[in-house]
Amino acid sequence: MSTGEDAITANAAGRYAKAVFELAKSSGSLDAVAADLSALRAALETSDELSDVLTSPLYSAEHKTGVLFALADKAGFNELTKNAFGVVAENRRAAELGDIATIFAALLDADRGIVRADVTSAAALTKKQTEALAASLKSAFGREIEVRTNVRPELMGGLIVKIGSRMFDSSLRTKLDGMKNAMKEA
């Protein structure tokens, strides 16, 4: 286990994610479980009701388990995913399912040698620009890079590239803010 992986699995959500990851890998169901957990993350982001049920201490572990099993059945989730939901809810960790899903995705990326780069720009990047950026990042990091883009017009120009805990900010907004601060200090 690498130092980065140690940090990922240092908390309860990380330990659950690692356990689910190892079970999914050994059973050959990594892709199915990854898709299930991705769908769960999306549901948690879009459904305040689901998020409230899982995080509220007013609902029992049994109720949370029932909600998660109903969700898994309706969505056609893998049996391993459903069982993991049950264990997590019974152990009163249902509120951490979003974090578990996020950490699972990071473990899957690491296992597959994929690095994700979150790129924010003032205007949408073309496919050609995105591919060129991915190629440049691949040569700099020596690993396959998956680029996810986001648009924030207030940047005015340039890019903000975030890869793991590293951030490279060449946005015009940041440069102007830096100049503004330098002028205040003078």
Are 156 and 94 in the same domain? no
Q: Enumerate the H helices of the chain as residue ranges.
A: 3-8, 12-27, 30-46, 48-55, 61-75, 79-90, 97-112, 127-141, 172-185
pLDDT digits (tens, 9 = 90+) for 153-177: 888 888 899 987 788 888 888 888 8
Judge if 75 and 152 occupy the same domain: no
* Domain end point (choices 67, 88, 110): 110
**What residue type is 161 in one-letter code?**
V
Q: 96 and 129 share a domain?
A: no
Tell me the C-alpha to C-alpha distance, in Å, between residue 110 and each of 5, 18, 169.
9, 12, 24
CATH number of the domain bearing residue 134: 3.40.30
What is the C-alpha to C-alpha distance for residues 46 and 54, in angstroms, rounded to an integer?
A: 14
CB atoms < 10 A from the CB of 54, how many? 23
Angle between helices 30-46 and 79-90 (to 10 degrees): 50
Q: Which domain holds residue 162?
A: 113-185
Distance of CA 90 to the CA centre of its chain: 24
Task: Count up the domains in the chain and report the number.
Answer: 2
Q: What is this structure's pTM? A: 0.71
Q: What is the pLDDT of residues 9-61, one digit of tens each?
A: 568 899 999 999 999 999 999 999 999 999 999 999 999 999 999 999 999 99
* Same-domain check for residues 70 and 135: no
For residue 65, the domain's CATH number is 1.10.520.20
Which of 81, 110, 139 is where one domain is finished?
110
**Same domain as 128, residue 93:** no
